[in-house]
Amino acid sequence: MTGFKEDELSRNDFLGGRLRLWQPVSGYRAGVDPVLLAASVPATSGQSVLELGCGAGAAILCLATRVPGLDLCGVELQAAYADLARRNAADNNMVLEVVSADLTELPSDLKQRQFDHVIANPPYYRAGAHSAAMDRGRSVALGEQTPLGDWIGVAAKRLAPRGYLHMIQKADRLHDMLLACQGRLGSIEVLPLAARMGREAELVILRARKGGRAAFRLHAPVILHAGQRHERDGDSYTPELSDVLRQGASLGPFHVNRQ
């Protein structure tokens, strides 16, 4: 995949303008999901973070905006998006190491490193489970090519002892995630994300710890939008979600450490 031309890009505000990211006009564009993933991670200054499949850098740079002083590394399969992630970090005065590689074939030096946190927003759809997008970048970002279990397996290997994995996924993939964690990660917690009160959760954020031994926890869902239905133009985010998306606030119960 060749790099993007300037007229193929737009620069968009995240976190109320605290972070500005270049993204392709046509192709995979970050929505609220990577922002919510970043907001769930209980990182502290001085810790190291690896993002698998970092795209243009939305999740890891949102996290770095909220928590300065992190040691950041991203892995991205598509070279054009890896270049965008490097550019976005530089344009926001951040230091982000971006490795262009398939996550199942990491370079040897990266295989020697461990991280306090690994984050990931893997493709949501199983291979063949959705219509392929016309744009290749979007198709790769949305359609699974590497099995979900491999994402979790790689994450577990790259985590330092007691390190955390945070992953956002469709709710119907939770079973696959839990199976992949067996024998690799413990202290599993799941935070459902529901569009509105009374609706089923469409997304979940999974938290798991290397060497964790605490009991499984299923948290009450985070509600994204106020009201029972969309009734007017503009967004209808709840106050909690508005603080996350506009002010860079943390999200949910994952900011309390467990065994």
DSSP 171-213: GGGHHHHHHHHTTT-EEEEEEEEESSTTSPEEEEEEEEETT--
* Low-confidence spans in the chain with pLDDT less than 70: 1-2, 127-144, 228-234, 257-259
pTM of the model as a whole: 0.90
Long-range pairs for 125-133: beta carbons < 8 A, 24 or more residues apart:
125/170
CA 37 to chain centre: 5
Alpha carbon distance 51, 44 (integer Å): 16
How far apart, in whole angstroms, are the C-alpha atoms of residue 173 and residue 138? 20
| H helix runs in 144-256, sequence order | 148-158, 174-181, 239-247
Q: Taking CA 63 as the corner, what is the angle to CA 219 and CA 159, rounded to the nearest 5 degrees?
A: 75
pLDDT of residue 258: 65
In sequence order, which residues have a C-beta less than 8 Å from that of residue 199 and are 6 or more positions away? none
- Which pLDDT score is estimated for 133? 47
| Domains, in order of start, for the chain | 15-247 (3.40.50.150)
pLDDT at position 131, please?
Answer: 52
Query: 11 exposed, middle or buried (CB, 10 Å; 0-12, 13-18, 19+)?
Result: exposed
Selection from 51, 141, 133 nearest residue 96 by Cα = 51
Within 10 angstroms of residue 139's Cβ, the number of other Cβ atoms is 17
Token pair in block for residue 215: 């009991």
Structure-token pair, residue 112: 């020697």
Q: What is the DSSP letter of 103?
A: G
Q: What is the dihedral of CA 35, 120, 171, 242, to 10 degrees?
A: -10
What pLDDT sits at residue 128? 55
Q: What pLDDT, on the 0 to 100 scale, is given for residue 231?
A: 55
**Residue 252: predicted pLDDT:** 84
pLDDT value at position 233?
A: 55
